[in-house]
Amino acid sequence: MNIAPINKKEYSDYKYKEYPAATKLLSWLPTLFIAAAIFWFSAQPAAESTEMSDTVSRLILMIGTKLGFFHGDPSQYAGLIELMSFPVRKAAHMTEYLVFYCTVRFGLHFTYQTPDAKCRLLAALAIVFLYACTDEFHQLFVPGRAGRFTDVLIDCFGVTVVTLICLMRQRYREYSRYA
């Protein structure tokens, strides 16, 4: 299947909406807020971070027990809580970075005007990836924590999947326009 290239004339006809400087600055506030929250979570020593994850695991087990998925007293599930800790932490990382990605895309919408949505999507992915790298570097200085590139990849996995879906959707739109 051959997809027609974007007509260069369409690029030159693209009308940029100019936003006031205050709007551009305010559009980045959600990104700054989420970045600060990620920094705060990463600044927690390992013991506190594990306790937060275990609290979420206990909450999941308690809700599961109420819904009938688990039987017995949730306080008896110490082994299950320990087993759930890793996936709960990694799911939390992917979720917080996906929210961060959405706020970055929001900020870019107001400040990075381009007719090529692919550039804006990839710019948002690059910003999230670089922030994840700096976050792991920051964790090198937190007691009991370690900075690992594999954690950067886990943090960015959901963001990468969403970016690929958006790129495929964009490409489908281009194809549909010329079909």
Q: 50-103 pLDDT, tens per residue?
A: 888 888 888 888 888 888 887 776 667 778 888 888 898 899 999 999 999 999
The two three-digit tokens of residue 4, written as one number: 């027609």
Residue 15 has pLDDT above 70, yes or no: no
Question: pLDDT value at position 1?
Answer: 43
CA dihedral 36→46→84→38, nearest 10 degrees, is 10
Question: pLDDT value at position 159?
Answer: 97
| CA 168 remoteness from chain centre | 19
| Distance of alpha carbon 134 from alpha carbon 137, whole angstroms | 5
Mean of pLDDT over the chain: 86
User: Do the beta carbons of residue 106 and residue 31 sit within 8 Å?
Assistant: yes
* Neighbour count for residue 77 (Cβ, 10 Å): 19
User: Do the beta carbons of residue 144 and residue 46 sit within 8 Å?
Assistant: yes
Of the two residues 153 and 178, the one the predictor is more confident about is 153
Question: pLDDT value at position 167?
Answer: 94
Question: pLDDT value at position 99?
Answer: 97
Residue 104 has pLDDT above 90, yes or no: yes
Question: pLDDT value at position 42?
Answer: 92
Is the Cα dihedral 69, 75, 78, 79 positive or negative? negative
Of the two residues 7 and 103, the one the predictor is more confident about is 103
User: Do the beta carbons of residue 38 and residue 96 sit within 8 Å?
Assistant: yes
